[in-house]
């Protein structure tokens, strides 16, 4: 079982992640991991911090000669803008952010103490962990990609760019929908025997844990609500050369909590960023008088980068499910179990 913890504040010294349960024997390409971190910072609508930070991961444990040892892996991403001790206090909560709820939960008197950890800066840890899991999944031919489907209701590249430019001009923010696709996932990952082992519930929890994600669907998703079963369930066919097959993939690659061998297709909605340059009404937490919400350095649109983070969240779940099924100690042993399983499925 893969287990991980992350730590670090937005303007602290570093973002840290520890991953346990990763198999021994995988050669790690740190350059590929850094490319994933760079992808997280990309996209039209990102803020000025992306010009300051150039995220690079340092692996401080769990490797020898770039090979994993089976021991806990520590990932370190240093913050160039490490100014947490000198930043001003924040007194007016931003609607749509964790500011007020976090303040009341922990009894703080400075919203800064909430937003430093609630910040999406923490997703650098998610991407570094996911990049490592992608290295493992690649060994089995599994790839994960993402794309933007719409921003602010617009779905063409030209109109999306125009929508983000409009938000910038109006000192506003805008959200949208992205899609993640995992290809060549073998049949049989996950399980229907317990709720917490279902692959769909695990993916939903992982994607919904990304800051700012407000909805999630697999395959046809909400389209099931307006259709007859005969119109949407994926009919099954068989021939001796191909084995079992489908003509459609409305299930999005998962049935009964188990991967069915088709592409896993996920979609999610990223809400508009809560920090507005033309802020909404709020309340000063000290005086309790009306005030405008705080303005922090922020982005205008992060739908593209949210998709990159979601790829990593998906990779963490799929890697965990893969190790759950085929073993987790030695990559060589896992590959043997995988080949044997694929051979059995081919003759089922």
281 C-beta neighbours (distance < 10 Å), count? 10
pLDDT at position 50 over 80: no
Domain count, the chain: 1
Q: What is the mean pLDDT of residues 112-130?
A: 96
Which ranges constitute the DSSP H helices of 99-252?
99-106, 112-118, 123-138, 157-169, 199-208, 229-232
Question: Tens of pLDDT along 18-37?
Answer: 999 999 999 999 999 999 99
Here the CATH number for the domain that contains residue 113 is 3.60.150.10
**Whole domain around residue 92: which residue ranges?**
3-346
Which ranges constitute the DSSP H helices of 148-279?
157-169, 199-208, 229-232
191 C-beta neighbours (distance < 10 Å), count? 17
Alpha-carbon gap, residue 260 to 249, rounded angstroms: 10
Confidence (pLDDT) at 175: 97
CA angle 180, 182, 187 (to 5 degrees): 140
Q: Tell me what the pLDDT averaged over the chain comes to.
A: 95
pLDDT at position 213 over 70: yes
Q: What is the mean pLDDT of residues 327-332?
A: 97
Take residue 79 and report the two structure tokens written for it. Answer: 């913050």
- Strands 281-283 and 290-292, by their bridges, are antiparallel
pLDDT at position 163 over 80: yes
**How many Å separate Cα 285 from the centre of its chain?**
33
Cβ partners under 8 Å of residue 260, min gap 6: 187, 251, 253, 254
């Amino acid at each position: 079982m893969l287990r991980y913890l992350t730590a670090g504040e937005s303007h602290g010294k570093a973002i840290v992640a520890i991953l346990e349960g990763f198999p021994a024997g995988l050669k790690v390409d740190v350059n590929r991991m850094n490319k994933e971190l760079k992808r997280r910072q990309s996209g039209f609508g990102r803020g000025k911090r992306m010009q300051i930070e150039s995220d690079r991961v340092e692996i401080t444990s769990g490797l020898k000669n770039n090979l994993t040892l089976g021991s806990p892996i520590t990932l370190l991403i240093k913050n160039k803008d490490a100014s947490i001790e000198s930043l001003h206090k924040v007194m007016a909560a931003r609607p749509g952010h964790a500011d007020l709820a976090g303040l009341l939960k922990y009894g703080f008197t400075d919203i800064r103490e909430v937003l430093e950890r609630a910040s999406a800066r923490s997703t650098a840890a998610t991407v570094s962990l996911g990049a490592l899991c992608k290295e493992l999944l690649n060994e089995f031919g599994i790839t994960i990609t993402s794309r933007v489907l719409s921003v602010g209701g617009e779905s063409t590249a030209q109109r999306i760019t125009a929508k983000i430019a409009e938000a910038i001009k109006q000192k506003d923010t805008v959200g949208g929908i992205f899609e993640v696709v995992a290809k060549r996932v073998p049949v049989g990952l996950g399980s229907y025997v317990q709720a917490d082992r279902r692959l769909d519930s695990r993916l939903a929890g992982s994607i919904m844990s990304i800051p700012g994600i407000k909805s999630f669907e697999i395959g046809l998703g909400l389209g099931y609500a307006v259709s007859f079963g005969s119109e949407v369930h994926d009919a099954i066919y068989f021939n001796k050369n191909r084995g079992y097959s489908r003509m459609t993939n409305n299930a999005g690659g998962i049935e009964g909590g188990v991967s069915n061998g088709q592409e896993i297709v996920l979609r999610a909605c990223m809400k508009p960023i809560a920090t507005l340059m033309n802020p909404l009404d709020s309340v000063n937490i000290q005086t309790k008088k009306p005030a405008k919400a705080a303005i922090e350095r922020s982005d205008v649109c992060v739908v593209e980068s949210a998709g990159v983070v979601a790829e990593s969240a998906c990779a963490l779940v799929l890697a965990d499910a893969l190790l759950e099924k085929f073993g987790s100690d030695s990559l060589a042993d896992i590959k043997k179990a995988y080949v044997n399983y694929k051979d059995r499925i081919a003759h089922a």
